[in-house]
Amino acid sequence: MRQYSMLLLTALVFGTAFPVLAETPAAATELPAITVSKVDRRDMREIVLATGMITPVQQIQVVPLIEGQPIEALLADVGDRVSAGQVLARLSSSTLTLQKAQLTASIAAARAQIAQAQAQMLEATSSAAEAQRVADRTSALRKQGTTSQAAADQAQAAAVSASSRVAVATQTNESAKAQLALVEAQIANVDLQLSRTEVTAPFAGEITARNAQLGAVASAAGLPMFTLIRDGALELRADVAETDLAKLAVDQSVDIILVGLDAPVKGHVRLVEPTIDSATRLGRVRIGFDDASALRSGMYAEASILVKEATVPSVPITALGSAQGKSVVLAVTQGQAHRVTVQTGIRDGGWVEITQGLSEGETVVTKAGAFVRDGDHINPIAASAAETN
């Protein structure tokens, strides 16, 4: 237009006749160039992201099994790896040793009482037998009329009295035996307490805390003497969005990213907890590690959980739009765009799986979909050519 104006002005000034330039109709009817892509099969991975803290799979708190004894020795410290039954601390045993000595003396006395009671029982049994024989003879003589009734009654009373003394001696013997059993039980209890003066690790593991101090009186109340991670096993307890929780399953592969490590740590889903936090609407997944040697309890980690891996038809995610709550794309046929409703699946990077609505090899508008209407004619340019330009 500027050139046309200049020519007209020159003609008016100089009176020279120049041909008038007109706009070409081809410029007004030129189709817009729109980038398009084909529906191609591509390796896709569906990933669920989760974050959380690394914690022990099982944390063991070691407390003394007896109280009131001062701590005599500490044989383990934080960071030590201990085996099951290994002595971690030793309590004073002097008081218990004295009690055992006293009870041992009581055993000797109890055994002497048993021996005495048995002798008394033998004597009473012998006297009772003799008294019964005398009573039997006196009764026979009374029947023959050679002795008085009073003598027979006296002999019978003596037999009954002797029999009662047997019963008393028997009870005395049983009481002495019971006393011996009681003292033996008390000694066994003291032996048990003596064995518990050695505080041992109930399981193998790694000690993460030691609260015990030399000279302090051992008590089960308050802080535990030692805290250890059973077998040194760690796990990642990660929070997952409610919508992703149903996709997770035991043994799914996981890449764990931690600050300070160059490469992700490999792991697997160990447990998907069955409940969801009502306040945060987050679920929790527990992830085990293939090698936890470089990890520490309390670390913050990010997890990429591989849910699905497949080779599927896909399009660039920029081709995907939305209409009336449904996913749509603009398919291109013979230079004309048509809106197609599709169903999607895996989203990986800049690509999205098409599960329904398009076939492999079809062409869709890659970009500028918002400026192309259903039914528009376009000049399709392949995405690869557009990228090289």
Q: What is the pLDDT of residue 108?
A: 81
In the 8-state DSSP scheme, what is residue 199? E
- Residue 289 CA to residue 250 CA, distance in Å, equals 13
Note the CATH architecture for domain 48-56+234-310: Beta Barrel (2.40)
- Is 18 a residue whose pLDDT tops 60? no
Q: What is the DSSP string of 265-311?
A: EEEEEEEEEEEE-TTT-EEEEEEEES--TT--TT-EEEEEEEEEEEE
Q: Which helix (H) or strand (E) holds 259?
A: none
Across 14-28, 243-257, 306-320, least confident range: 14-28
Q: Which CATH code, of 3.40.50.1820, 3.40.462.20, 3.40.605.10, 2.40.50.100, is assigned to 60-92+197-228?
A: 2.40.50.100
With a pLDDT cut of 70, the percent of the chain lying above it is 88
Tokens found for residue 287: 């992830």
pTM above 0.75, yes or no: no
Contact in structure between 16 and 364 (CB atoms under 8 Å) = no
- Is residue 323's pLDDT more than 90? no
130: number of CA atoms within 13 Å, CB side? 7
Cβ count within 10 A of residue 28? 7
How confident is the model over 111-123, as a mean pLDDT?
A: 81
Give the pLDDT score at 370.
66
Report whether pLDDT(24) > 60.
no
Say yes or no to pLDDT of 96 above 50: yes
Q: Average pLDDT, stretch 181-191?
A: 90
Q: CATH number of the domain at 33-42+312-388, please?
A: 2.40.420.20
> Residue 328 forms beta bridges with which residues?
321, 341
Q: How far apart are CA 79 and CA 206, in angstroms?
A: 6
* Per-residue pLDDT, 369: 59
